Amino acid sequence: MTGLDRFEGRPGARDGYWPSAWPTECGGNRRQKAARGRLDAATGMASVAGRRNGRWNVMFVEREPDQWYLGGTMPAFSGPEPYGWVERLDLSGGGADPECLEPLVRSPQLPCGGHVWCGSILVHANGAVYSVNGSYLHKLDPVDLTVLAERRLPVNRSHNGMLALSDGTIVTKDLRLEGQGGTTLTRLEPESLELVGEPLVLPEGSMGRIAADVVDVDGSTVELVYVPGTEHLWRLFVGAPGGSHGTGGCGLEIDAGWRPRYRAGGGPQGLAWDSCLSDGDCWIMDCGDIESVRAIHTAEPNGRFDEPPGSALSWRRRAPWSGAQRLLRCSLADGDDTAEIEPFGTPGGGIIAPPVHVPELQMAIAWDSVNGGLAGVEAPADGPSRDMRVAWHLDVRPSMQPVVYPGSGELVINDFTPGADGGPPSDDLVVVDMATGTLIDRVRTGSRVANGMFLSAASNRRVLYASTTAIAIAAWS
Residues in the chain: 477
The rounded distance, in Å, linking the Cα atoms of 477 and 475 is: 7
**Alpha-carbon span 338 to 354, nearest angstrom:** 17
pTM over 0.85: yes
Residue 123 parent element (H or E): strand 120-123
Per-residue pLDDT of the chain (477 residues; tens, 9 = 90+): 333 434 444 444 458 999 999 999 999 999 999 999 999 999 989 999 999 999 999 999 999 999 999 999 997 899 999 999 999 999 998 889 989 999 999 999 999 999 999 999 999 999 999 999 999 999 999 999 999 999 999 999 999 989 999 999 999 999 999 999 999 999 999 999 999 999 999 999 999 999 999 988 777 889 999 999 999 999 999 987 765 444 457 999 999 999 999 998 778 999 999 999 999 999 999 999 999 999 999 999 999 999 999 888 888 899 999 999 999 999 999 999 999 999 999 999 999 999 999 999 999 999 999 999 999 999 887 755 678 999 999 999 999 999 999 999 999 999 999 877 777 899 999 999 999 999 999 999 999 999 999 999 999 999 999 999 999 999 999
Q: Which CATH superfamily is domain 8-476 in?
A: YVTN repeat-like/Quinoprotein amine dehydrogenase (2.130.10.10)
User: Would you tell me how many other CB atoms lie within 10 Å of the CB of residue 198?
Assistant: 16
Could you tell me where the DSSP H helices lie in 233-357? Answer: 291-298
Print the SS3 string covering 359-420.
CCCCEEEEECCCCCCEEEEECCCCCCCCCCEEEEEECCCCCCECEEECCCCEEEEEEEECCC
**Whole-angstrom distance, CA of residue 380 vs CA of residue 16:** 32
218-238 b/e with 16+ CB inside 10 Å = b? Answer: eeeebbbbbbbbbbbbbbbbb
